[in-house]
Structure 1
Amino acid sequence: MPAPDPAHGAELPPFAGITSFMRRPATRDLAGVDVAVVGIPFDGGTSYRSGARFGPRRIREASAMVWGYNNALAVKPLDVLEVVDYGDVNVIPPSITETMANIESEVGAILAAGAAALALGGDHSVSLPLLRAHAREHGPLGVVHFDAHPDTWDHEFDDRPYSHGTPFRRAIEEGIIDPSRYVQVGLRGPTLEAGDWQWARERGVRAITMDDVAEIGLPAVIRATREPLRGPIYVTLDVDAADPAFAPGTGTPEVGGFTSHELLRLVRALRGVEIVGADLVEVSPPYDHGDITALLAANLAFELLSLMAVRRRGG
């Protein structure tokens, strides 16, 4: 039987329809909407390879391959949640501060309308204004942060305070993150200084490195990740948490990361957590091969939607 709408609908074949996220309606009418998927095509905060500005578009295209039912979580999120594709934030490529102001304002409007935001980046600098908008709505946030890097450096470029390596330091300094409810998962690789991982730890952040993963195993990592999570939680997922073999299309690849399956397990393990918002960042299509990074990102975004649906359903 042909699909009732030739443009939209997750039941369409992957090659058909308009490539909004999971072919959801593209609209800014938020009446009755539970989750708005919003693109943030900005990569002016990168310190190595640019290209993440093309991430939201390619993730949307890859999402056409995501079928509607999540077998691992036993939920069909689009049957539980009203989801729309909100389109993209208006970014200003030469100005990170103006772009961040636009992100905070536009996502703030989504939250004020009663919807949750699932943001597709863009580089990791976009997380700071996203956190600001969510903290204004929910107060200081707990955070689950999947990443190869801590992104708590003070400055990457002379005395400029904002880049994709500084968002969580600024967020802690601004009091919009509660460090005792903040966990970093997947840290690895060389750093500039011996103490680059220590600043956050000294303030109470729990940091789980890939060496920790190898030593204690994934089930123990899952338990350690969940232990500090209470109250409103924001999830931020840098695709470079995955090993470059599974996610080559990213701006700052680090060897020795998670497999795709391990990342899926880690995200699914957040079942029941009070997730109030999320972002998925650092997909850089110019460095991707066969869209494998974009496909991983689209599936991880689907897992985040599924978690929101499971909690809404009460499972």
Structure 2
Amino acid sequence: MSKSNAQFQPLDSGLVPRFAGLPTFMRLPIARPDEVDIALVGVPFDGGTTNRTGARHGPREIRNQSSLVRRVHHVTGLSPFDRIKAGDCGDAPINPLDLMESLDRIRDFFAQIHAARTRPLTAGGDHLITLPILRALASKGPVGLIHFDAHSDTYDSFFGNRYNHGTPFRRAIEEGLLDPKRMIQIGIRGAISDASNYDFARDAGVRIVFIEEFAERGVKPVMDEARKLVGDKPTYVTFDIDALDPSIAPGTGTPEIGGITTREAQALVRLLDGIDIIGADLVEVSPPLDPTGATALAGATLMFELLCVMASSAGRN
């Protein structure tokens, strides 16, 4: 462990029990973005939710469940906390009564992180939060996207509103934040409201991998395609917890049966290693819909997997 990383270490569970201490992400110290390489942050916002709410409570419960995260990855042997400096940089400010103001506040918060040359790893919040994050990180040109989800989130509007958790990636393409030809969506499934629902994404060039294709081809072939598609250019990663089967992760606003297992999800994320990840998020955990905490634990564990691949890539630069 280098001296520069010494202050950015998780609490030692042999000295401070996991149920004690401040409930920060992975028991890391509270930090400013300019002090760390990767900023773990929360966006407690679900103003873009169209049905079952509660994702505003996601960051707090993911922090709580992340107390179970340990230091060293059991497969790679990597301790991300020794490779890079990471800290809990708090929550983005939001206004629960004003959606558009919240989007601006979230964008400005992440613009400060980006200006500090720090990469964010974010806990949501509903999936609309990815739009203002991309506005901050892709201000100089479109980036690629690897997107794990049950839904494409490229619809045009709901209830006459163009800004909700079903529309962020359509808006991001329209705003020039994403290169649709460097976008892949994995795990898409479930009945749709209209046969034309995927037309925008397909016409734009987005690669959609439905769950049936994923099940037939398997983890590695799909991720080989994803890696080839985004190449070595800057890429954002977003993981909607409803990509997982609701028997495993019931605490989410729009569950769809027939989903990805947690073991498959871990394997998918591990194969992001080496990609130029400019930021990542884990969204749509709704703790009120899962009092057991299992959904938030899955979210916290996948955030650790994301931290590991982001730290691994940083170590090779």
Are 2:22 and 1:21 equivalent residues in the alignment? no
1:145 and 2:147 are equivalent in the alignment: yes
Residue 260 of structure 1 aligns with which residue? 262
- Alignment check: 8 A CA contact 1:34 1:116 kept: yes
Residues 42-87 of structure 1, C-alpha deviations (whole Å, 9 max, x = no match): 0111011000000000000000000010122331001111111111
- TM-score (norm. length: structure 2): 0.93
Q: Are positions 1:44 and 2:51 aligned together?
A: no
Note closer, same or farther for the CA distance 1:115–1:10 as it changes in structure 2 (3 Å cut). Answer: farther
Instruction: Give the deviation of 1:290 after TM superposition.
Output: 1.7
The Cα shift of 1:203 comes to 0.9
Q: Report SS of the residue matched to 1:227.
A: helix
* Aligned position for 2:217: 216
* Superimposed CA distance per residue, residues 110-136 of structure 1 (whole angstroms, 9 cap, x where no aligned partner): 110111111110000101000111101
Distance in structure 1 (CA, Å) of the matches to 2:159 and 2:229: 33
The change in CA–CA distance for 1:167 and 1:59 in structure 2 (over 3 A counts) is: same
Structure 2 counterpart of 1:119: 122
Q: Work out the CA distance in 2 between the residues paired with 1:199 and 1:30.
A: 36
C-alpha distance in structure 1 between counterparts of 2:10 and 2:184, whole Å? 37
**Aligned pair partner of 2:138 in 129, 135, 138:** 135
Determine which of 28, 31, 54 is the counterpart of 2:57: 54
* SS of residue matched to 1:47: coil
- Mapped contact 2:34–2:113 kept (Cα < 8 A): no
> Match of 2:36?
33
- In structure 2, what is the equivalent of residue 110 of structure 1? 113
Q: How does 1:74-113 map to 2 (within 5 A)?
A: 74-113=77-116
Whether 2:295 is the aligned partner of 1:293: answer yes
Partner of 1:177: 178
- Asked whether the 8 Å contact 1:242–1:260 carries over to 2, the reply is yes
Letter in 2 for 1:73: T
Stretch deviating more after TM superposition (112-121 or 9-18): 9-18
RMSD after superposition = 1.7
State the partner residue of 2:3: none
Q: Distance in 2 between matches of 1:73 and 1:167?
A: 34
Give the partner amino acid of 2:57: F
Where in structure 1 are there 5+ consecutive unaligned residues?
A: none
* Distance in 2 of aligned mates of 1:204 and 1:308: 27
Once residues 141 and 117 of structure 2 are traced to their aligned partners in structure 1, the CA distance between those partners, rounded to angstroms, is 16
Q: Hey, what's the Cα distance between the residues in 2 that align with 1:311 and 1:232?
A: 12
Q: State the alpha-carbon separation in 2 of the partners of residues 129 and 252 from structure 1.
A: 21
Report the Cα offset of residue 225 of structure 1: 2.0
Moved more, 105-114 or 214-223: 214-223
Specify the code of the residue in structure 1 equivalent to 2:299: A
Counterpart Cα distance in 1 of 2:251 and 2:207: 28
Q: What secondary structure is seen at the aligned counterpart in 1 of 2:146?
A: strand
**Residues 309 and 10 from structure 1, CA distance in 2 versus in 1: closer, same or farther, beyond 3 angstroms?**
farther
Instruction: Give the match's secondary structure for 2:34.
Output: coil
> 1:224, CA displacement in angstroms?
2.1
Residues 141-199 of structure 1: CA distance to partner in whole angstroms, max 9, x if unpaired? Answer: 100010000000000122x2100000000000111100111100010000001121231
* 1:195 maps to 2:196: yes
User: 1:289: how far off?
Assistant: 4.2
Task: Identify the residue that residue 311 of structure 2 maps to in structure 1.
Answer: 309
| Alignment check: 8 A CA contact 2:30 2:87 kept | yes
